[in-house]
Chain A
């Protein structure tokens, strides 16, 4: 009888450990996820600021280059931000980021190029910048379509 109970307890703990392991996220992964998400938020923050200036919703033309430089610079941290594969946790990053990493990295490079063009245009003013914003959006969407899960 005792052996039987022991066996049950052992199986039970094994199951608990496996399930718990799958659901929980290590402290390290949490830090990587947070780092990744800060980079994404920084980019959307700069885009949102740049759009407000380009559309003339705020009169801070002089800040446009600063905003777009911020965006351009942040695209440079993306390769590291997505280097570490994480498992579990509150993230919409899909596993195929690390399975199709060549394609993923090409898409990052495409974004970096679009951001450079955007910055070059921003130096000539909001109107020129507006013409280059679309390409940045295309690069963002191309990646989000394939590598970002929807909110669940």
Chain B
């Protein structure tokens, strides 16, 4: 079992970037893009499931201390989605947080994480999005506090708090750890909710994964560092992977709230090898004592 998992991780890590796009290769690419979509948690925000919204057509409300954001339509509809974009616009959005018109995105769109994504994964995601049915759903304008209404502020924010750049593997760590670090910090963006933020809305990097009292939807977000008392230090590996893959908690309870969506729309679609890799990485972060609830 352990060996099979390891082999899987190894394969996932070695999966070569696809360059030639013959018919079969293109299908593989779409599949890989669909996987990147799930691993990156795109569905949870870009589909308004609660109100029966269509797949990736946006409109999901996300309440934050800065106001309510409504996710945009990312289907290839030319007018309301991203169908009029070129692929380089898409890469720029993910890598640099810049929209085709040159304005900067609000960091509620976790380009701060996606900037670390490898080019071939971005490419696969783009190809996959092109295969998703187009939906002509008009975007809902955000409803923000006055000082956040201008996107000019986003530029300043970026200048202060954003370092663009692809993920670099840490050669002192195992392959599995590196895969986990990549999935967590370049795709799944766990830290966007689980790391507390300052009043400026940037994550407190020295408090990584220590949880937050005021996460999205004004809910508290648990401390997921390996601290024994206030984090998940007393969870076993299989308790953690069961949680990530299914939402089953160590006491036999099943998760609800935003994390249930994160699991159902995202993590539950991942290969067991990637779930294990995520656990390997999360278990290695610095334990921080921080009581959230």
Contacts and interface: CB of A to CB of B under 8 A. Distances in A.
Interface string A73-117: 000000000000000000000000000000000000000000000
A150 B257 contact: yes
B123 to A, nearest CB: 33
Interface residues of A, number: 22
Contacts of A49: 252
A144 B252 contact: no
A36 interface: no
Nearest to A140: B254
A48 B257 contact: no
Given A134-B246, A137-B247, A46 B252 contact: yes
Contact of A141 (B238, B242, B250, B255): B255
B35 to A, nearest CB: 20
Contacts of A51: 242, 248, 252
B229 interface: no
A145 B252 contact: no
A45 interface: yes
A3 interface: no
A137 B254 contact: yes
Contacts of A47: 248, 252-253
Contacts of B271: none
A152 interface: yes
Interface in A39-60: 40, 43-49, 51, 55, 57
Interface of B: 219-220, 238, 242, 246-257, 260-261, 263-264, 293
Interface of A: 40, 43-49, 51, 55, 57, 134, 137, 140-141, 143-145, 148, 150-152
